[in-house]
Structure 1
Amino acid sequence: MKMLKVLIAGAALFTATSGFAADRPVHLRGEVTAVTATDLTITDRKGVKTVVKLPEQAQVLDVSRSSVDAIKENSYLGVAAAPAPEGKVRALGVMVFPEPARGLNEGHFPWDMGDKSTMTNATVAKVSKKSSATELEMRFGGKTQVVVLDKATVYGQFVPGKRELIVVGAKVLVIGAPTADGATAANAVLVGRDGFLPPI
């Protein structure tokens, strides 16, 4: 039960948002270059530094590498994807949910990993092996979405983590929200293991 509560509290990363709404969560990806008891500094791949407030209640998720082999029928996934022909989407990053997190924020909605990118949180109903890729039929709320996995797809998995994982050099995805003073406060910090950048 404790694990489920932590996952729910940290699940802002998989939450549907209303496209370009002013209250849309802030997503920051990069490397931790400074950290204190109250904030951390993230440097993205372009060298831009952002200081983020780190409240006591901010959740930490421990993210490690996974692979296509972890995906089976009935797996529950979060898939960040780009548009593909015939109404399909091409998976950029896949997060394999632990069983206690099954069903969290189920749906298909806009994401921020490129033009017209999406997030699909759903159950794998069917796995089809193709010559150059694997296709997943994912079901959510009575709907389906076909997801194409290819050689460029990155896979991860997560469990609740500890604040001690947030150290200089760690690769992170921070999900935050704007504060009244114009800063960003972290709601959840996804910390990649061994230099792994969370794939969503």
Structure 2
Amino acid sequence: MSIRLKIGITLATLAFAGAALAQTPAAKPSRIRGDIVSLDGDVLKVHRRSGDTVSIELKPAVAVSAVKSMQLSDIKPGSFVGTAATTGTDGKLTATEVVVFPEAARGTGEGHYGWDLGPNSTMTNANVDTVVQGTSGRNLKLSYKGGSNEVTVPPNVPVVTFTPAARSDLTPGKKVFVVATAASQGGAYVAQRVVVEKDGVAPPM
């Protein structure tokens, strides 16, 4: 396999992984967070945070990615990020995690919408216009098609970016984040994309 082809495959994988933070209302995807119980053939079993265990079909084309840690200082004007945040009583956004997208995934899921990490949770996928040091962390001024907002990123919030992974990384006990659709029968799911813990870094989204 040529180096150019390998690079192309890697970029495509990262772009596809970036779509894990995209909202697709028409498809009504489920976001499954939990610990891997097993991978048997094409069936991934995950023990969810809610306490139940679900089966997820992994079709051959489904890409598996991971995340690696970055520093808050790595976020610069011009970065394209996805940040989950909570809305305070004052209406201000405070980040609970930040994903810095690789350039190949710029524009993925662009916008501001509801998220399911907790009450008043939102997701903003946007360009970073400015970064200002504030009293509670760094304040990111974000712009996206149709709007803009500002989010404060406290120093202890996980900041990650996507990195390639393989099915061999889907081992019992690893934490995983799966975007999936419900199967037509049997109560199982069909994975659209998978982000797995690797080198001790769990997907925070």
TM-score, with length taken from structure 2:
0.87
Task: Name the aligned partner's letter for residue 150 of structure 1.
Answer: P
How far 1:75 sits from its partner (Å)?
1.0
**Residue of structure 2 aligned with 1:16, choices 23, 31, 35:** 23
Residue 188 of structure 1 aligns with an amino acid whose one-letter code is R
CA shift digits 1:77-123 (9 cap, x unpaired)? 11011113544311111111111111222111111111221111111
Q: Is the 8 A contact 2:14 2:162 kept in 1?
A: no
- Alpha-carbon RMSD across the aligned residues, in angstroms, is 1.9
In the TM superposition, residue 131 of structure 1 has moved relative to its aligned partner by 2.1
Q: 1:185 aligns with which of 190, 202, 205?
A: 190
Aligned residue for 1:157, secondary structure, equals strand
In structure 2, the partner of 1:143 is 147
Offset of residue 39 of structure 1: 0.9
Find the residue that maps to 1:168 and give its secondary structure: coil
Please point out which of 145, 160, 166 is paired with 1:162. 166
Give the distance between the partners of 2:21 and 2:145, measured in 1 at CA.
Answer: 16
Given that 1:108 and 1:119 are in contact with CA atoms closer than 8 Å, whether structure 2 keeps it comes out as: yes
For the residue of structure 1 that corresponds to 2:73, the secondary structure is helix
Uncovered stretches (5+) of structure 1, i.e. residues with no partner? none
1:95 aligned to 95, 99, 105, which one?
Answer: 99
Does 1:195 find its partner at 2:200?
yes
Query: Is the partner of 2:177 in helix, strand or coil?
Result: strand
What residue is the counterpart of 1:52 in the other structure?
56
| SS of structure 1 residue aligned to 2:68 | strand
The 3 A distance-change label for structure 1 pair 84 and 152 is farther
- Asked whether the equivalents of residues 72 and 155 of structure 2 are also in contact (C-alpha less than 8 Å), the reply is no
Is contact 1:12–1:187 with CA below 8 Å preserved after alignment? no
Residues 40, 51 of structure 1: 8 Å contact kept: yes
Distance 2:132 2:69 in 1: 23
What's 1:64 paired with? 68
Per-residue deviation, residues 36-73 of structure 1 (Å, max 9, x unmatched):
22111112345432221111111111212222122111
- 1:117-171 CA-to-partner distances (Å, cap 9, x unmatched) read 1111111101110122211001111521101111442221102322222112221
TM-superposed CA distance for 1:183, in Å, is 1.5
Q: How many Å separate the matches in 2 of 1:171 and 1:67?
A: 21
TM-score, length of structure 1 as denominator length: 0.89
CA distance, structure 2, for counterparts of residue 14 and residue 45 of structure 1: 19
Aligned to 1:38: 42
Which residue of structure 2 lines up, in the alignment, with residue 133 of structure 1? 137
Q: Is contact 2:175–2:196 with CA below 8 Å preserved after alignment?
A: yes
Q: Work out which of the residue numbers 84, 90, 98 in structure 1 matches 2:88.
A: 84
Question: Could you tell me how far apart the structure 1 residues matched to 2:71 and 2:56 are?
Answer: 31
Unaligned runs of 5+ in 2: 1-7
Looking at structure 1, the residues matched to 44 and 116 of structure 2 have their Cα atoms a distance apart, in angstroms, of 22
Aligned to 1:5: 12
